Every structure is written in structure tokens, then in C-alpha cells.
Chain A
Amino acid sequence: MRIVLAKPGLDGHDRGVKVVAMALRDAGAEVIYLGLRQSANQIAVAARAEDADVIGISVLSGAHLALSRQVREAQEAAGVADIPLVVGGTIPPQDVAPLTGLGAAAVFPVGTPIADVVKGVLALGGGHR
């Protein structure tokens, strides 16, 4: 199971994504963390190159809707739209449905237990390819 994690957009809050990365690693997944300020295109291309089973992005600036849409579009363009996208961060409850509407397979707002994040991500990994 290979997971590409990244922070799109400009915010630097990487505590959450690193905790998730370590938890996934401890659960046996292979985690490729791309780091901060990744463009949607960089994320999609990396996911293709790494043959990722899941893409995870973390946004704490409030720009999650626009950035998730960009990543989904970049996935289409890179031919990897079938890789499930999961989104975490400071996401108010009313934005969860719009995120799934634009193609996020799962949304983990701040406060989601890490065990649930891990379980949710691992469950998605099985369906790809």
C-alpha cells in the first residue's frame, strides 16, 4: 500500500500531516511525503510516478475547496483520476459534502481520531487497480 501525502497551497501547518504520515507508516503503509507548497500538478504527477494507491492532502488555510478541486483536475489530466483523494485539515462541517461532491473519497476534519484516519485510508487502498 503506497500513499502519497502532500500539502498543496501555501500554508505551513505540517503537524497534522506528519502525525498522519507516521501513523500510516506504523500501520505498515509506505508513505511518500512530498512536503509543503506542492502544486496540484506536482502532486498528481508524483502519485502517478510512485504508483500510489491513495493521495492525501492537508490544508489548514481554509482554501481546501479550491485546492481539492485543483488536485482532482490535475489527477484527470495526469490520467490518475482513479486514485482516491483524501482531504484533511481545518474543514468546517458544512464543507464536507462539497468536498466529496468534487471527488474526495474521504474527508478528515481536525479532530478526527488518528485511528479513524488510518482505517479510512487503508480501506480505500484496496480498491485501486
Chain B
Amino acid sequence: MTTTDSGIPVEPLYEPPDGPDPALGRPGEPPFTRGPYASMYRERLWTMRQYAGFGAAADTNARYRYLLSQGQTALSVAFDLPTQLGYDSSHELAASEVGRVGVAIDTADDMAAVFDGLPLEDLSVNFTINATAPIMLAFYLVAAERQGADLTRLAGTLQNDILKEFLARKLYVFPPQPSLRLAGDVVQFCAQELPRFNPISVTGYHAREAGCDAVQELGLTMASAIAYAEHFTARGLAFDSFAPRLSFHFSSQMDLFEEVAKVRAARRLWHRIATERFGATNPNSGRLRFFSGCSGATLTAAQPLNNVIRSTLQCLAAVLGGAQSIHVMGFDEALEIPTEESVRLALRTQQIIGYESGVTRTVDPLAGSYFVESLTDSLEARAAELVAQIDAAGGYVHLLEQGAPQRWIAESAYRAEQAVQSGERVKVGVNQFTGDDDAPPPRLFEVDETAGQRQRDRLARHLATRDEPAAQRALAALGKVATTDENTMPALLAAARAGGTVGEISGVLRAEFGEYREPAPW
């Protein structure tokens, strides 16, 4: 029996005496306000998934082994910028960026080396990759094939949310329309071949980090999910064939109750959109599952240890909101890539909340709070209004192409900064309680300056030893497919198997689709 620390029994679920409020439903039942699953953390805690990757494949493999040895339960791959933008490590623009903000992946061999000795059938892996998501998926599947893995058992999430790159994260390559087509190719392929894999993670996180507020985060995320669903159904996919595998990604910032209310509202809103707008009949289509990323934008360079407390509150909000997986920031991220110590502390933050705090004993513990329910209703209503405005203005993709939501975010970020500068919004250690900071500066991560050269050498060896005619044939075949409406995934897989590099494969697609440039922000 589960009890409080003083022995009082704790039921898995608390409800009004005369049964559930229809606006809330029961956990695991429509409209899912109280959670996507009936027993939530009573059955299984969320997935503790720290985002990590740096240097060459071998460096990242070592960090993953370390994280798994410390009790992390899944992996989350950070790629370096050249990989995310489709440049080989040897490219001129890649020079000072190889292996810096993530791991450098040029080939399927590199991907196999990242997971060397880690059984992919048994691991859930998240990939923060978007413009080059289909290529990285192909590399990953080749790595899994080489392990002899059963592809139908692969679990994980490909971020593959290209729209929010145009909106906020800004690592786009191709223009919006061909980008959507590639995202759709992945979704269609996964629906057929990878039943346990989430082929897209619809993301409000980056818009929030870039400066918008919680209502905008929620409204923009829903508008973007609608845009994807419309695009995928227009190409002939049935809503119920892909919607159950859509996952979502929200930010968790400082306003504890608003953050909890936001994700409760998100579940209810998505259920309504799935059933009313898209006529979902599969109950899983409206069951919103989400990954919660704690916020880097709220962390401060001043008094960096204070960030441990900020992240703890953000993680708590994600747990009280019923997240399926969580990343906690390293306290030193306003200064550098997190060290092993700060990543371990972030993981311990999750473990202390999960195993010591008792907040996991009952499902949706804040339900029925007058304040939280009122906030949930307000967030849902305001976000729905934003969705309606976007619809009326010609739809999300159209607005994105014009740069309108990008401007909303920049303006909102400026207002937030002014509020901190004026002191209207308190930031401890920044505009109040600044005092003398006696704490010694944290020991920062030291970038291994040899990683870039090691990776370039590795790539050169790869190119010198592969079957060159086979690689060129596969790349040419991909180019042909790109000109048609056919799904590019089989040709991408063939190019990956033949040793094609991320730069070569992206080059073929760039030649066909062109490259995007952002409209001027003002």
C-alpha cells in the first residue's frame, strides 16, 4: 500500500464524490485533462532523458554509457550544427562548429559508433533533429540493422518538427513546402515500418525559449499540429494512422501553476481538435503525450548555482503536469556545455522528485484546485482563440512564410527583457539580491579541440575506403526520387547503406529543393 511518510494511505486517484467532472474526465480517458494514462506514475515514472552529445561519436558514446550507468532510462541525442544543417565536418562553414553543441555525424558509420555496445532494441532514443531528420533516421536504421535489431521494436522519437525551425529554432535548410514533404515522408514510413517510434514531436518549446508566453506556446503548438495533420491527410494518410504516434514537446518555465495548467489544457485542447476537427475515431489519436524540457532561457550566468533551484521547480511543474519524459538543464548552461557533474546533478534532480518527494503517489494531484482548474480553462480558451485567429489569417504555414509569428515572439522577448531591466520582474541574483557572490565560479566543460580534426580524419578515411561507384549510384537514385512525389525514405536508406554522407545527401536535396532564407524581421 502506498502511504504518505506518516502512514496515511494514498489512493491512486482522487475524484469528486459523485464521479468525474466531464470537463476533466478520468486519467487515461477523454478528454485526457488529467493525464494520458490511467495509473500514470503509480505504474511507471516518466522517462528521464538528458539531452547529450558532443565531439566525435566515440566521445558521445562514452557520455551515454556514463548516463546509463547513473540510472538514466533513455537517451537523447544532441547533434552538432553542421549535422543539423546538412554539412559534412570537412565543409568550410563547419570549421569551428564540429562536435561543439552536439555530436558530429557524417555517415551511418558514425551513428553506429555513437551506439556501439548499446542495444538499440532495448533503448528509447530521442533525436533532436529536424531539417536533416530523414537522413539521421536512415543512418540510425542502418546502425540498428548492423546490430541485427528488429526494426519493429525500435522505440524513440525523431523531433522532425520543421515548422518550429522557421518559427523559432532557426535550423532550417529547405523552404517550407519541400520541408513539409520530407517530414511527411518520415511520418508515412514510420507508420508502416516502425510501429513503436514517434516520427514527429510537435514542439512549442523553442518558441517559448525564444520569448513567447505560455498561451502563445500552447496556441502555436496546436496550430502547428493542425498544419501537419492537414498536410499529412492531404497526401492521403488517414488521421488515425499517424495521430496516435504524434508526440508533443513543451517547455517548463518558472510560473509553477501556469505550467501545470498549460499541459493539462494542452491535453484537453488536442483531444478536441483530434475528434472535432479531424474526426478521430481511434481513441489514441487524441491522447496527447509530451516531453517536457526545462528552460535554458530562464537560467542566469550570475550566481549559477541558483539555476539548480530554478530547474527543480521546472521539473516539479512537469511532473505535476504529467509529462512522459523530462530533460532538466545543467546549472552551468548559461556559460558552457554542461559538465558531467552538472548533468549528473540534473538527473539527480529528477530522481529526487521521482523517488523522494511523494508527488508521484497519486495521479494529477492538483486536479480540483479552484485556481488550477480556472487557469487550465483560461489557458485552453486563450490558446483556442489564438488558433482561431491563425485559421482566420490564412493558416499557420502561410503566417510563418510571412514571418508574423516570428515577430510576435521577438516582441514578446523584448518586453520580457524590459521587465527584468526595470525590476518589474524579479530575477534573483540578477536584478535583486545581487550582493557579493562568494561562491567560486563553477568548473566549466572543457571543449576538446582535437575532436573536429579527429572527425575530419575519420570522414576522409571513410571516403577513401567506400565503394565509390555504389555511393554515387545511390545518391543519383535519391536525386531522381526527389523530383517525384515518391517517398524519399527508401532512397535515403539506400544512400546511407552505400556510405553517402550527410553533406552529400543534403546536397542532392538542396539541388532539388533550394534553400530557405528568412524574411527580414522588421
Contact = CB atoms under 8 A, between A and B. Distances in A.
Contacts, number: 93
Interface string B291-308: 000000100111000000
Contact of B81 (A15, A18, A19, A61): A61
A36 B170 CA distance: 8
A66 B170 CA distance: 21
A115 interface: yes
A18 B413 contact: yes
Contacts of A21: 521
A12 B421 contact: no
A62 to B, nearest CB: 5
A15 B170 contact: no
B301 A111 contact: yes
Contact of B93 (A10, A93, A109): A10
Given A10-B93, A18-B414, A114-B417, A62 B336 contact: yes
A93 B209 CA distance: 23
Interface string A31-49: 0010111010000000000
A100 interface: no
A67 B96 contact: yes
B209 A9 contact: no
B430 interface: yes
Contacts of A110: 301, 334-335
B417 A19 contact: yes
A115 B335 contact: no
Contact of A111 (B94, B211, B300): B300
Nearest to A25: B522
B82 A62 contact: no
B414 A11 contact: no
Interface of A: 9-15, 18-19, 21-23, 33, 35-37, 39, 61-63, 65-67, 90, 92-94, 109-111, 113-115
26 contacts: A9-B81, A10-B93, A10-B94, A11-B97, A11-B101, A12-B170, A13-B170, A15-B211, A18-B410, A19-B417, A21-B521, A23-B414, A35-B517, A35-B520, A37-B93, A61-B100, A61-B101, A62-B336, A62-B447, A67-B96, A90-B335, A93-B335, A110-B301, A111-B300, A113-B421, A114-B421
Interface of B: 81-82, 84-85, 87, 93-97, 100-101, 165, 169-171, 209-211, 297, 300-302, 334-337, 410-411, 413-414, 417-418, 421, 430, 441, 444, 447, 517-518, 520-522
